[in-house]
Amino acid sequence: MGQQFGRRSWAEPWKIKMVEPLVTTTRGQRERALLEAGFNTFLLRSDDVYIDLLTDSGTSAMSDRQWAGMMLGDEAYAGSRNYYHLEAAVQQYYGYTHVLPTHQGRGAEHLISRVAIKPGQFVPGNMYFTTTRAHQELAGGTFVDVIIDEAHDPASSHPFKGDIDIAKLDALVAREGADRIAYISLAGTVNMAGGQPVSMANIKALRAWSDRHGIKLYLDATRLAENAFFIQEREPGYASHSVAQILREFCGYSDGAWMSAKKDSLVNIGGWLAVNDFALFEELRNLIVLYEGLHTYGGLAGRDMEALAIGIAESVQDDHMRSRIGQVRYLGELLEDWGIPIVQPVGGHAVFLDAKAFYPHLRQEEFPAQVLAAELYLDSGIRSMERGIASAGRDPKTGEHHVPKLELTRLTIPRRVYTQAHMDVVAESVKSVWDARAQARGLRMTYEPKYLRFFQARFERL
């Protein structure tokens, strides 16, 4: 796949100005730290972590320009100039009319779910995301997965595994009626499917479908800039479009979006909610003062909004995206070369290890992806994350585990933080855990929180 970039290598379009020393630990220290953390990598202290691939959320390195922007914070309670810079950046690059800052993505998800979902309605989406579905359910909605079947198959090399299957939407309307559908919830790329993109053809078809049924189409824009890169690379007709052009066109087919700016936008905190309809905006603008803050800061400091406005512009640069996704792919290709089972094709923000294929001797109720994350940490101090049955949680109506087809451990690459040599070290550690796979034992959950259990759950070895 490296050939797709041409015969010349990509390289980072920046050089390093400041460094942060890494921590190394002994195996004995890691054993103790993991026991203390209840085998949950979310409960480790970062002081006990060597290479931190827990998440790409809020972990990016900001540029010198963004840091300079931090010094230009206008901390006025109301009408901060940084808010207007952020508003202009969202309008320019994403194309929406009305913009509200939020403290992060889930703040925006909370507001749109409360306003756009009536209790008892259904919310079809392209595979669930943890916080998105939780807010849709808290608002009285029922999430329905309408992603194409290929998304649930780690070995399928479909180029747009994030696409929605329109036949599944038709079936939902036939069963429940269009008035019981709150809106379509479309995310690109699809995190839980392995960072897989949605095609432009699919969102065009969804727009036409939505118009036919009078149903709104809202985007989870968290990794849409990465999604745009895949369209440029894979979709006929888009090779000569810039990432920025593709992003703008894609958003143009939707009615609004929520954003976790902690991902694509290269900041450590922030989010936004943007819609085109003024009446909806008025409702959201009113509600935001209860939960986030005044509509010109939404839980962010002025300096955060400035860094975000600059980060948005940096995030859509083609050379940035080429090295960003190139690095993720570099790691994926190393693992593939060693025959280690990963989700195909390699997605935008992470390499996903197929834990079922690592540990065929473990039942899914023994949390194989959680085991794999624990083993990787023990081997080298590298921190990854479970994206399997623990993340999937329970059905709020039946109380049973949601049992996802995909049982994955995610190696998430922060943007502009680690080097290619770090990726080599990561790959070698995964290889050593792969070689020792037959010895791994399952886990039992000993503490289970009610909401988003994967964050705080505790486990012990069987």
AA identity, residue 80: S
Catalytic site includes residue 454: yes
AA identity, residue 191: N
Catalytic site includes residue 263: yes
Q: Which of 30, 263, 303, 437 is catalytic?
A: 263
User: How many positions of this chain bind ligand PLP (CB under 6 A)?
Assistant: 15
Beta carbon of residue 124, minimum distance to ligand PLP (angstroms, whole number): 16
Q: Does residue number 126 form part of the binding site for ligand PLP (CB under 6 A)?
A: no
Binding-site member from 80, 222, 323, 327 for ligand PLP (CB under 6 A): 222
Beta carbon of residue 189, minimum distance to ligand PLP (angstroms, whole number): 8
**Of 273 and 346, which CB lies nearer to ligand PLP in the complex structure?**
273
Binding-site member from 63, 82, 132, 323 for ligand PLP (CB under 6 A): 132
Q: What torsion, rounded to 10 degrees, do the Cα atoms 450, 454, 456, 458 define?
A: 100
Looking only at residues 171 through 190 of this chain, which bind ligand PLP when binding is defined by CB under 6 A? 187
Catalytic site includes residue 129: yes
Binding-site member from 85, 262, 410, 453 for ligand PLP (CB under 6 A): 262
**Of 33 and 139, which CB lies nearer to ligand PLP in the complex structure?**
139
Near ligand PLP by CB under 6 A, which window of 41-49, 100-108, 117-125, 379-387? 100-108
AA identity, residue 258: W
**Of 272 and 358, which CB lies nearer to ligand PLP in the complex structure?**
272
Q: Does residue number 260 form part of the binding site for ligand PLP (CB under 6 A)?
A: yes
How far apart CA 319 and CA 90 sit, in angstroms, is: 20
Q: Does residue number 220 form part of the binding site for ligand PLP (CB under 6 A)?
A: yes
Binding-site member from 106, 320, 324, 422 for ligand PLP (CB under 6 A): 106
Q: Does residue number 142 form part of the binding site for ligand PLP (CB under 6 A)?
A: no
Binding-site member from 40, 82, 104, 199 for ligand PLP (CB under 6 A): 104
Near ligand PLP by CB under 6 A, which window of 126-134, 233-241, 336-344, 413-421? 126-134
Catalytic site includes residue 455: no
How far apart CA 125 and CA 151 sit, in angstroms, is: 13
**Of 60 and 222, which CB lies nearer to ligand PLP in the complex structure?**
222
Catalytic site includes residue 297: no
Near ligand PLP by CB under 6 A, which window of 74-82, 128-136, 381-389, 423-431? 128-136
**Of 57 and 202, which CB lies nearer to ligand PLP in the complex structure?**
57
Q: Does residue number 129 form part of the binding site for ligand PLP (CB under 6 A)?
A: yes
Give me the residues that bind ligand PLP (CB under 6 A), please.
57, 104-106, 129, 131-132, 187, 191, 220, 222, 260, 262-263, 271
Catalytic residue positions?
77, 129-130, 220, 263, 387, 454
